[in-house]
A and B are shown apart, each in its own frame.
Chain A
Amino acid sequence: GNSVTQMEGPVTLSEEAFLTINCTYTATGYPSLFWYVQYPGEGLQLLLKATKADDKGSNKGFEATYRKETTSFHLEKGSVQVSDSAVYFCALLPLGTSYGKLTFGQGTILTVHP
């Protein structure tokens, strides 16, 4: 079956530090890959996505590259801000799925201190 594994949290960083949150997946074929973020008091929202191998998704300074060789989609940001404190979820959508039946990882809590 499909599965997503994220690095264990919580992750605590100082402002302007470099961020990496690891995500690997297991799926048949080439799924679409996503990072969702949940800020305090809000619902999950799509941060970025990639739909095929070697694609790079980017948004708000965050990036992730779809690596089929390593079945990974690691999230990175060069300089985090306090406002990036949130829970980050990696997710996949199997190839050819006609509706939003996402498979999520367990989430990684990020706390950024001033």
Chain B
Amino acid sequence: EAGVTQFPSHSVIEKGQTVTLRCDPISGHDNLYWYRRVMGKEIKFLLHFVKESKQDESGMPNNRFLAERTGGTYSTLKVQPAELEDSGVYFCASSIRTGGSTGELFFGEGSRLTVL
């Protein structure tokens, strides 16, 4: 069974440009999450989808970030325009359980974003 896959693994862009990160969750996992780790600090929650619906986007930093999950399968996270402080590692995770959480999430390797 394939795990959570993320693309690209590393992206280097100039300030003001746009970047789109993609996440393919484990097949059959309705829950999809985005997290971010900035500069070796703690990993922080960004948002949570159940199928195609955003359930909690309280961690999104600002309106330069847009997450979508069309059709309830893969998800994209777009940053437009990118700023220096957006640099970090963006993790996607998925889980199957919807009626409660065991806290076990399956994470991808992360997409490293460098904004110059």
Contact = CB atoms under 8 A, between A and B. Distances in A.
Interface residues of A, number: 26
B44 A99 contact: no
A64 B36 CA distance: 26
Interface stretch (A11-19, A38-46, A65-73, A77-85): A38-46
Nearest to B43: A104
B103 A43 contact: no
Contacts of A104: 35, 42-44
A60 interface: no
Interface in B73-111: 91, 93, 95, 98-110
Chain B, interface size category, equals 20 to 34
Interface of B: 3-4, 31, 33, 35, 37, 40-45, 48, 50, 55-56, 91, 93, 95, 98-110
Interface of A: 4, 32, 34, 36, 38, 41-46, 49, 89, 91, 93, 97-107
23 contacts: A32-B103, A36-B107, A38-B107, A43-B108, A43-B110, A44-B91, A44-B107, A46-B103, A49-B102, A91-B103, A98-B99, A99-B31, A99-B55, A99-B98, A99-B101, A100-B48, A101-B45, A102-B43, A102-B103, A104-B44, A105-B42, A106-B42, A107-B40
